[in-house]
């Protein structure tokens, strides 16, 4: 690593241990630290040492996004709820309607469709997600279902004729 890059990382990376075993310590780990690492030591006037085995670091993370694109729908229309979580590893995501779980998946993108909304779909919806990093619950979104107007027509209609 050249000197410029080393200065950028010097406050976050350090090596600890003794001559028999060294440990790389990464402080304030971020998602950009994901990757494969390998140690290669060169000591002046010594033959090159073999490189160590590689180690892959996977940084766990967690951000919850709940999206319901329409707050009011007309009865009979479709609606889609999306719970997106930017996380590693994949979280368990639960979609609730009025505090009752209606969908549960281990995924970063839970999608729940209602193809034909009815009045009983009215309610408060929220997402909850959790993984080893933590958990979060979205804000509650209210779904209102607008009724289709109903008309009641009589079986027979009598129309009077006016004479002139």
Find the CATH number of the domain harbouring 91.
2.60.40.10
pLDDT single digits (tens) 114-146: 999 999 999 999 999 998 888 888 888 899 988
Mean pLDDT to the nearest integer, 69-78: 79
| 89 lies in some domain | yes
Most confident region among 24-28, 41-45, 61-65, 110-114 by mean pLDDT: 110-114
* Domain extent at residue 14: 3-57
Greatest Cα pair distance, the chain, in angstroms, is 125
Say if pTM beats, i.e. exceeds, 0.85: no
- Nearest residue to 81 via CA among 48, 38, 50, 112: 112
Count how many domains the chain has.
Answer: 2
Residue in this structure with the two tokens 């990382």, named with its chain if needed: 9
In this structure, the answer to whether residues 137 and 97 fall within a common structural domain is yes
Residue 113 has pLDDT above 90, yes or no: yes
| 153 lies in some domain | no
In this structure, the answer to whether residues 51 and 71 fall within a common structural domain is no
- Give the span between the Cα atoms of 97 and 142, in whole angstroms: 10
| 161 lies in some domain | no
What tokens does 124 get? Answer: 């408060």
* Dihedral sign, Cα of residue 59, residue 35, residue 23, residue 15: negative
The per-residue pLDDT of the chain, averaged, comes to: 79
In this structure, the answer to whether residues 77 and 135 fall within a common structural domain is yes
Q: Taking a C-beta distance cutoff of 8 angstroms, is the pair 50, 56 a contact? A: no
Q: How confident is the model at residue 1 (pLDDT cuts 50, 70, 90)?
A: very low
- Nearest residue to 129 via CA among 147, 98, 103: 103
In this structure, the answer to whether residues 34 and 100 fall within a common structural domain is no
| 155 lies in some domain | no
- Give the span between the Cα atoms of 144 and 122, in whole angstroms: 5
Q: Taking a C-beta distance cutoff of 8 angstroms, is the pair 81, 128 a contact? A: no
**CA–CA–CA angle 77, 85, 55 (5° rounding):** 150
| 151 lies in some domain | no
In this structure, the answer to whether residues 47 and 71 fall within a common structural domain is no
In this structure, the answer to whether residues 40 and 114 fall within a common structural domain is no
Q: Taking a C-beta distance cutoff of 8 angstroms, is the pair 83, 64 a contact? A: yes
């Amino acid at each position: 690593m050249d000197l410029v890059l080393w200065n950028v990382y010097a406050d976050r990376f350090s090596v600890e241990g003794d001559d028999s075993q060294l440990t790389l310590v990464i402080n304030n780990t971020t998602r950009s630290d994901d990757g494969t690492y390998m140690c290669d030591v060169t000591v002046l006037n010594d033959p090159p040492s073999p490189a160590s085995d590689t180690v892959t670091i996977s940084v766990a993370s967690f951000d919850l996004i709940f999206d319901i694109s329409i707050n009011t729908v007309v009865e009979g229309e479709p609606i889609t709820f999306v719970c997106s979580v930017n996380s590693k590893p994949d979280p368990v995501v639960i979609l609730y309607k009025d505090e009752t779980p209606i969908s549960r998946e281990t995924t970063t993108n839970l999608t729940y469709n209602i193809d034909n909304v009815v009045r009983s779909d009215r309610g408060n919806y929220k997402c909850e997600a959790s993984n080893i990093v933590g958990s979060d619950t979205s804000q509650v979104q209210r779904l209102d279902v607008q009724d289709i107007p109903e008309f009641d027509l009589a079986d027979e209609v009598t129309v009077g004729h006016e004479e002139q």
